[in-house]
């Protein structure tokens, strides 16, 4: 068993012993799982540099990871565990499915919100999959050994990109403040720093004399192998990229084995081995949001849904807002947290099944290895407007040239959340985030979590009862609902106060070397054109036509988009970069006919549509009931949707 020991550091009653419906009370367990990975196992040949890590006397590679488990005090037989692949060390399952507050203090007795997962009887496992999250109480991490060559630390090409919202004198050599890969030589004359106006714009090389590997201390640069210092500071709105030689390469891909083997242990491990779910866990579902939606897509790409004993681990998977992308999850000097378009996670293949690339002649799909080894799970994959507009989610269900639809296979469902931004939106209506990002348009207020509860429920019934989920809902070429982004500019900008991006991000064709699957890449990549990006058409209200249309969209008080653009005060105003891709837009409808006519707004006013709040809420309830009938919403969420609609009516009338 790859799990050699489970070290429990805390165990106690969840929420003071609160009973969650018929399931009853829950308990929490936190601690560290200790693992060994067999570097000679044939399935592990895909893990970059595992064969270069130090082994113990048994010829195994030891490593460990923090975990957090919520489980019923009395687990029923045939139970399910939802395994949360941590986003930069953070839990996401409870906030998504239970409307819970994010864990911020590291306490094990977490907020459970509406208790949905507990009322449904799920155990919820969170396990560290990254070696590099910054030290903070709420983040969980893993400890992976470094790869060595003849006993020496590895050196090699590394790449880091920064988008900034404020002037900064220096930056860590990492994404999002994570642990950096230090430079092998602070005087390296071959390191190159460039700046761009946007991610796929032309690069300007910054003279080496203008920057150094250093950190600002009392306003002066002090040599430091972990930092870059730029004379005059790095400017907001610009895209900076550094290519340099790094030293010290932890085996990043061990995160996949930790995740797989932790879930396998909960399903197949015995009580004698310390398994807290022994004999009660029949099914495991993989959950990943944003970075981890991409991470799960790549798990399938590597064919890692079988444990070392050859047993299927996950019967179901929910990759969420992962677009048509992967990531730096199994590379030498990979940065799992990075979310940029000029990176290896954006290269072909994009779709689950093999799609020919007419340019390269390649013909592969994400599921090739998984199907070949017989470990195919049921997959429910969801995306928001951000993934379509910013990063080309359409490539996951069209041909590579964008000329035809390429529907998913029977064991995969694809869902587009109409009008949604990257994460759930909420009131109040504002153009600023708590961390000071400012959009040029008010931010998106659409909370799509009710749809996510329905999708998890559909996956569960698919796995356990063989009841197929509702049909995929995505923009399609055949229906005329998938169109180029540029074709919508005139329609959208007819709304008074709207803002169109000054540049639409592109998915670039990139070449990182002759064998990117080996995990040792060449930087910067060679670029050779772009891939087509398609998005949903708009109705007369400028809302998305395709996808799962929650009552916010079906019975609108506003136009919702999954994207926004930077405010001029942030630098490079109008660009869809650095914060703007994550946040969408809410453009409230004119309140009255008189307001509509005075502003020249093409959208029908709230007054003309509904007449009164009661009439509006009645239509919202009817729309929610229709969604329940089609299984895109749960009955328990009807009243929640009506309550949100009531709050929006009041807020938008007072905005």
Question: CA 356, 296, 584, 577 torsion: positive or negative?
Answer: negative
CA atoms of 356 and 184, how far apart (whole Å): 40
CA atoms of 308 and 295, how far apart (whole Å): 20
Q: Helix (H, G, I), strand (E, B), or coil: what is residue 256? A: helix
Query: Nearest-CA neighbor of 325 among 533, 474, 156?
Result: 533
Per-residue pLDDT tens over the stretch 358-400? 999 999 999 999 999 999 999 999 999 999 999 999 999 999 9
Which band of pLDDT confidence, cut at 50, 70 and 90, is reported for residue 1? confident
Q: Verify cis geometry, omega within 30 degrees of 0, for the bond prior to 275.
A: no
Which band of pLDDT confidence, cut at 50, 70 and 90, is reported for residue 20? very high
- Residue 307 — φ and ψ, nearest 5°? -80, 180
What's the whole-number mean pLDDT along residues 615-637?
99
CA atoms of 24 and 118, how far apart (whole Å): 9
Do residues 290 and 422 touch, judged by C-beta distance below 8 A?
A: yes
Q: Which helix (H) or strand (E) holds 615?
A: helix 613-629
Position 26 scores a pLDDT of 98
pLDDT above 70 covers a percentage of the chain that reads 99
Pairing of strands 363-364, 355-356: antiparallel
Per-residue pLDDT tens over the stretch 228-270? 999 999 999 899 999 999 999 999 999 999 999 999 999 999 9
CA atoms of 174 and 338, how far apart (whole Å): 8
How is residue 274 annotated by DSSP? T
pLDDT at 103 over 90: no
CA atoms of 226 and 215, how far apart (whole Å): 8
Q: Say how many C-beta atoms besides its own lie within 10 A of residue 25's C-beta.
A: 16
CA atoms of 39 and 53, how far apart (whole Å): 8
Position 30 scores a pLDDT of 96
Per-residue pLDDT tens over the stretch 467-480? 999 999 999 999 99
pLDDT at 109 over 90: no
CA atoms of 578 and 513, how far apart (whole Å): 28
Position 105 scores a pLDDT of 65
Contacts of 423 (CB under 8 A, 6+ apart): 290, 321, 582
Per-residue pLDDT tens over the stretch 134-162? 988 889 999 999 999 999 999 999 999 99
Q: Exposure of 90 by Cβ count < 10 A (0-12 exposed, 13-18 middle, 19+ buried)?
A: buried
What's the whole-number mean pLDDT along residues 209-236?
97
Position 199 scores a pLDDT of 84
Which band of pLDDT confidence, cut at 50, 70 and 90, is reported for residue 429? very high
**What value does the mean pLDDT of the chain take?**
95
pLDDT at 221 over 80: yes
CA-CA distances (angstroms) from residue 593 to 260, 414, 495, 541, 554?
A: 57, 39, 15, 15, 20
Per-residue pLDDT tens over the stretch 456-515? 999 999 999 999 999 999 999 999 999 999 999 999 999 999 999 999 999 999 999 988
DSSP 79-143: EEEEEEE-BTTB--HHHHHS-PPPP-S--SS---TT-HHHHTT-EEEEE---S-PPS-TT---EE
Q: Say how many C-beta atoms besides its own lie within 10 A of residue 202's C-beta.
A: 8
Per-residue pLDDT tens over the stretch 299-357? 999 999 999 999 999 999 999 999 999 999 999 999 999 988 889 999 999 999 999 99
What's the whole-number mean pLDDT along residues 89-105?
89
Per-residue pLDDT tens over the stretch 171-180? 999 998 999 9
pLDDT at 164 over 90: no
Place of tokens 């058409």: 537
What angle, rounded to 10 degrees, do the helices at 254-268 and 291-302 form? 80
Which band of pLDDT confidence, cut at 50, 70 and 90, is reported for residue 579? low
For the record, the structure tokens of 485 come out as: 């982004």
Q: Helix (H, G, I), strand (E, B), or coil: what is residue 320? A: strand
């Amino acid at each position: 068993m790859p799990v050699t020991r489970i070290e429990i550091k805390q165990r106690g009653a969840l929420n003071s012993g609160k009973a969650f419906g018929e399931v009853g009370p829950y308990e929490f367990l936190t601690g560290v799982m200790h693992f060994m990975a067999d570097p000679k196992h044939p399935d592990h040949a895909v893990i970059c540099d595992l064969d270069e890590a130090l082994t113990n006397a048994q010829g195994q590679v030891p490593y460990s990871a923090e975990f957090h488990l919520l489980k019923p005090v009395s687990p029923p037989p045939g139970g399910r565990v939802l395994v949360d692949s941590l986003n930069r060390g953070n839990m996401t399952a409870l906030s998504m499915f239970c409307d819970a507050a994010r864990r911020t203090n590291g306490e094990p007795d977490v907020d459970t919100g509406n208790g949905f997962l507990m009322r449904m009887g799920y155990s919820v496992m969170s396990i560290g999959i990254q070696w590099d999250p910054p030290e903070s109480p709420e983040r969980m991490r893993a400890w992976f050994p470094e790869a060595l060559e003849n006993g020496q630390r590895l050196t090699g090409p590394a790449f880091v990109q920064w988008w900034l919202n404020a002037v900064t004198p220096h930056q860590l050599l990492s994404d999002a403040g994570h642990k950096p890969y230090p430079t092998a030589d602070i005087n390296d004359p071959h390191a190159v720093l460039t700046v761009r106006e946007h991610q796929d714009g032309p690069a300007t090389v910054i003279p080496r004399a203008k920057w150094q590997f250093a950190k600002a201390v009392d306003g002066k640069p002090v040599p430091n192998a972990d930092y870059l210092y730029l004379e005059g500071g790095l400017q907001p709105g610009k895209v900076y990229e550094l290519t340099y030689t790094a030293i010290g390469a932890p085996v990043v891909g061990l995160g996949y084995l930790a995740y797989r083997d932790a879930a396998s242990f909960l399903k197949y491990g015995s009580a004698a081995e310390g398994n807290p779910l022994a004999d009660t866990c029949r099914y495991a579902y993989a959950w990943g949001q944003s970075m981890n939606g991409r991470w799960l897509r790549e798990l399938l790409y590597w064919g890692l849904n079988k444990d070392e004993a050859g047993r299927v681990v996950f019967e179901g998977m929910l990759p969420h807002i992962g677009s048509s992308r992967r990531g730096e999850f199994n590379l030498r000097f990979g940065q799992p947290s990075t979310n940029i378009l000029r990176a290896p996670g954006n290269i072909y293949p994009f779709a689950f099944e093999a799609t020919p690339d007419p340019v390269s002649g390649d013909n592969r799909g994400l599921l090739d290895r998984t199907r070949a080894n017989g470990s195919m799970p049921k997959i429910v994959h969801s995306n928001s407007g951000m993934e379509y507009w910013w990063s080309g989610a359409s490539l996951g269900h069209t041909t590579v040239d964008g000329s035809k639809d390429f529907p998913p296979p029977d064991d995969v469902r694809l869902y587009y959340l109409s009008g949604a931004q990257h994460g759930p939106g909420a009131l109040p209506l504002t153009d600023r985030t708590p961390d000071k990002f400012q959009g040029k348009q008010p931010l998106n207020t659409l909370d799509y979590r009710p749809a996510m509860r329905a999708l998890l429920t559909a996956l569960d019934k698919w796995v356990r009862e063989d009841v197929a989920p509702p049909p995929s809902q995505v923009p399609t070429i055949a229906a005329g609902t998938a169109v180029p982004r540029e074709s919508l500019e005139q329609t959208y900008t007819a709304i008074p106060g709207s803002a169109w991006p000054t540049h639409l991000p592109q998915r670039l064709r990139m070449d990182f070397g002759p064998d990117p699957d080996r995990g040792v890449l060449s930087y910067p990549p060679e670029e050779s054109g772009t891939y087509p990006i398609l998005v949903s058409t708009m109705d007369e209200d400028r809302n998305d036509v395709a996808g799962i249309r929650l009552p916010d969209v079906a019975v609108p008080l506003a136009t919702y988009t999954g994207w926004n653009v930077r405010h001029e005060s942030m630098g490079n105003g109008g660009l869809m970069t650095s914060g703007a891709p994550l946040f969408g837009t809410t453009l409230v409808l004119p309140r009255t006919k008189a307001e509509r006519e005075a502003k020249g707004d093409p959208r029908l006013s709230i007054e003309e549509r509904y007449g009164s709040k009661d009439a509006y809420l009645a239509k919202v309830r009817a729309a929610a009931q229709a969604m329940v009938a089609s299984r895109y919403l749960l009955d328990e969420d009807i009243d929640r949707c009506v309550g949100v609609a009531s709050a929006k009516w009041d807020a938008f009338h007072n905005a």
